Structure 1
Amino acid sequence: MGSRWVARLGLALLPLVALAQQPEPVGRFRQPTTQVGDVVEFELTFRHPAALEVVFPDSTADFRPFEYVGRRYSPTRTLQGQSLDRAVYRLRTFALDSVQQLSLPVMVLRGRDSVLLPTAPAAVRLRFLAPAATASPPALRATTTLLPVEARFNYPYWLTALGGLMVLSGGLVLLFRRRLRRRYQRYKLRKNHAYFLAQYARHIERFELSRSATNMERAITLWKNYLTRLEDSNLNSLTTREVEAHYQHHPAMSSALRVADRVVYGNLLAEDETPEIDQAFAQLREFAEQRYQLAGARVQAA
C-alpha cells in the first residue's frame, strides 16, 4: 500500500520536475535609462515545450514601481517542439529611485494546477534633469522692501456689476415699458412733425420765389405723405375728392386743396390770387397741426 502511494506521488511530481528543468522566462528593459513620466518598454520572453499552456501577465499584474500604459503580443512561434512567446509592455515611472527593478511572473497551467515562474529582476536607470545640488548652498538674504505690482483689471467684479446692471435695466424696462413706449412714440411724432414743418416752409419759400406750379405740387405731396405716416393711412394715393371725403369735408382743408388743384392743374397763377394761395398754404399747415395734436392725444391715452 505504501509503495503504491509513493508511485502515485512520483507520477504527480514528474511534470513539476520537468518544468523545473525548463529555462526560466526572461525579462529585460529595451532601454537602459528613462526619465520620470517617460514611456519605457519591458520585453518578456519565454521558451518552453509546445505542450505547456502559458499565460502572460495582463494589465492587472503588479508592475510596481512602474505604471502600466499598454502592451503588444507577438504570435507564438513553434519549432521542433519548442515554442517561443513574447510580449512587450509599455510602462512609465514617477518614482525617484536612481535604479528601479521589475520582475514579472509567467503562469504555467497543468490541469487544475498552476505554477508561477518569475523572471530575474531587470533594472533600468533613471536620468535626472535637475542640476545636482552644490556642496554649500548659496547664502540667503532677507528682503523686506515691497516691490511695485502692476494693477490688474478685475474682470469678475466688472462682469458681475455689468450683469447686475443688465438685470436691473431689464427689470426697469419691463416695469415701465408702457410709459417708455409712449415717450418714444411722442418723441417720434415731435421729430417727424418738426421735419415736416421745416420742409413745408422750404417748399413755400421756393414757390414764392419761382411762382412755379411744380413747387406747389411738391408742397401738397409732402403734406399728404406726412399725414399718411402720421395716421398710418393711404392718403397719398387718394384724389382731392377722396381726401375731402376722408376728413368729412373739413371746410378749411377742402378750400385749400381746391386752390392747390386750380394752381397745379389749371396753371392759374394771377397776381391777385397770391393772398388766396398764401392762405391755402397756412390752412394746410394748421390742419396738419391739428392732426398732429390728435395723434399725440391718442398716444398719451394708449
Structure 2
Amino acid sequence: MKESYLNKTKALVWLLLCFLPFPSWAQLPAITVEGFFLRDSVELGQSIKYVLLSRHSPQAEVIFPDTSARFAPFELVRKDFFPTRTVKGISTDSTVYTLRTFTLKPIQSLQLTAQLFFSGDTLNLTTPRDSVVLIQNVTTVQEPLLLKSATQLRPVPEQFNYLYWALGAVAASILIGGVWALFGKGINLRYKLYVLQKDQAQFQSRFQTSRERFQRGKTLDQLERAIILWKNYLTKLEDTAINSFTTKEIVTYYDEDERVSNALKVCDRAIYGNIISDDEAEETFALNQLADFSASRYVLIRDYLRNVASSR
C-alpha cells in the first residue's frame, strides 16, 4: 500500500510539472552554439584552429571559455576573439582557439561549454562534439631502435651574442670603476712617479751625450743643443714654459739660484759672444751644474708628490 501511495504521488508531481506555466523559461532568448575544427586532420604537435560560434538575440550575454578552461586532449596555444556583430536582430559572437595535440589517439574530439547569462540566471550551453583524425607519419617502430654511429653535422653560422657582451661590458665597467675608486689615487701616483723617473733617466742620458760631443768637437752648436735639451726637460718637469723664458726670467723663476745663474751666464757668453775658453773647462763645468740642478729639481718634485699622496 505504501508503494502504491508513492506511485500516485510521483504521477501527481509529473502532471504538475507538465501543466504548470514557467514564465522565466518562456522568456529565454533563442540561442544556438556550435564548435568545429577548420580542418579534419592534424599532425602530432601541429597547430589547428577551432571555431566557437554563437547566434542569439541582442539582450542575451554569452561567455565563451577562457584560457583556464580544459581543452583535453588538446593544448591551448592562443585565443583570438572577435567583437559581437548584430544583423537584423541576431547577434553573433565568435572566438578562434589555436590548439595542438601530443596525444597518439587516432581520432580526437573536442566539446566546449559556453555560459548564457540572462535575468540573473546562468545556463550552460554545450557544443556538439567535433573530431579530427591524427595523421600517423610513423606507422611502424622497429624494436630495438637502431642508433646511427656517425651523423653528418650541418654547419651552423656563428651569431654575435650582443646581450652577453653587453652584460660583460657592464660588469667589467663596474669592476674597473670599483678598483679605480679604491686604488685609483695610488695607481695614478705610481704612474706619475714612473713617468718622472723615466723622463729623468732619458734626459740624463741624452744630456750626457750632448756634453761629450761638445767636449770632443768644441762647437757652439753642440753647446746650444745641450742648453735647449735642458730647458725642454725642465718645461715638462715643472709643467711651465721654461723653454720660452729668457735667462733672466729663468733665474728669477728659480729664486736667483747661483748654479742656474752662473751656468747660464757662461753658456750665453759662449753662444752669443762666440767665445769658448781654450780648455772648455768653464763651459763643461756649467753643463755639469745644469745637470745637477735638474736632478735636484726631479728629487724635489718626486718627494712633493709622495708627501701629498701620504697626507690624503
Q: Which interval holds the TM-score relative to the shorter structure? A: 0.5 to 0.7
1:219 positional shift: 1.4
The 1-side partners of 2:189 and 2:121 are apart by: 94
Match for residue 255 of structure 1 among 250, 253, 262: 262
Kindly indicate whether residue 124 of structure 2 is the aligned counterpart of residue 124 of structure 1.
Answer: no
2:22 alignment partner in structure 1: 12
* Equivalent position amino acid for 1:222 in 2: L
Q: Distance in 2 between matches of 1:54 and 1:182?
A: 80
CA distance in 2, matches of 1:246, 1:14: 112
In structure 2, list runs of 5 or more residues that go unmatched: 1-11, 148-167
Are the counterparts in 1 of residues 242 and 250 from structure 2 also a CA contact under 8 Å?
A: yes
Distance in 1 of aligned mates of 2:119 and 2:254 = 113
Q: 2:283 aligns with which of 277, 283, 286?
A: 277
Deviations 1:170-225 (A, max 9, x none): 59x74x975x7766555433322221122223333444565443432221122122
For residue 32 of structure 1, report the CA deviation from its aligned partner.
Answer: 0.7
- 1:46–1:86 Cα contact (<8 Å) kept: yes
Paired position in structure 2 for 1:228: 235
Cα distance in 2 between the residues matched to 1:227 and 1:130 = 89
**Percent of residue pairs identical:** 27
Among candidates 226, 238, 248, match of residue 241 of structure 1:
248
In the aligned structure 1, how far is the partner of 2:252 from the partner of 2:43?
99
Distance 1:245 1:177, change over 3 A: closer
Other structure's SS at 2:51 match: strand
TM-superposition CA deviations, 1:139-160 (whole Å, max 9, x none): 99xxxxxxxxxxxxxxxxxx9x
- The yes-or-no answer on 1:100 pairing with 2:100 is no
After TM superposition, the score normalised by the length of structure 1 is 0.64
Task: Indicate conservation of the 8 Å contact 1:45/1:84, yes or no.
Answer: no
Aligned-residue offset at 1:112: 5.6
How many residues were matched structurally?
A: 264
**Could you say if the C-alpha distance between residues 125 and 257 of structure 1 is closer, same or farther in structure 2, counting changes exceeding 3 Å?**
same
Report the TM-score, using the length of structure 2 for normalisation. 0.62
Q: Residues 50-199 of structure 1: matches in 2 within 5 Å? A: 53=60, 55=62, 57-59=64-66, 62-68=70-76, 69-73=78-82, 75-78=85-88, 83=90, 85=92, 87-96=94-103, 97-105=105-113, 111=119, 115-130=123-138, 132-134=140-142, 136-137=143-144, 170=179, 174=183, 184-199=191-206
2:295 counterpart of 1:289? yes
How much is the aligned-residue C-alpha RMSD, in angstroms?
4.6
Pair 17,6 (structure 1): closer, same or farther in 2 beyond 3 Å: farther
CA distance in 2, matches of 1:211, 1:7: 140
CA distance in 1, matches of 2:19, 2:126: 25
Aligned residue for 2:22, secondary structure, equals helix
> What letter matches 2:73 in structure 1?
P
Are 1:42 and 2:37 matched, yes or no?
Answer: no
SS at match of 1:272: coil
Is 1:28 the counterpart of 2:39? The answer is: no
Query: Could you tell me which residue of structure 1 aligns to residue 161 of structure 2?
Result: none
1:265 Cα deviation from its structure 2 partner = 1.7
Alpha-carbon distance between aligned partners in 2 of 1:8 and 1:102, rounded to the nearest angstrom: 35
Which piece of structure 1 moves more, 22-31 or 259-268? Answer: 22-31
Residues 109-151 of structure 1 show CA distances to partners (whole Å, capped at 9, x for unaligned) of 67566654433211112234555323x53599xxxxxxxxxxx
Whole-angstrom CA distance in 2 between matches of 1:249 and 1:14 = 119
Deviation at 1:6, TM superposition (A): 6.6
Say if 1:66 and 1:91, in contact at 8 Å, map to a contact too. no
- In structure 2, relative to structure 1, the CA distance for the partners of 1:235 and 1:35 (3 Å cut) is same
Q: Distance in 1 between matches of 2:58 and 2:247?
A: 116
SS in 1 for 2:275: coil
**Where does the alignment leave 5 or more consecutive residues of structure 1 unmatched?**
141-158
Say whether the 8 Å CA contact 2:215–2:280 is kept in structure 1.
no
8 Å Cα contact 1:39/1:90 also seen in 2 = no
Quick one: which amino acid aligns to residue 230 of structure 1? L
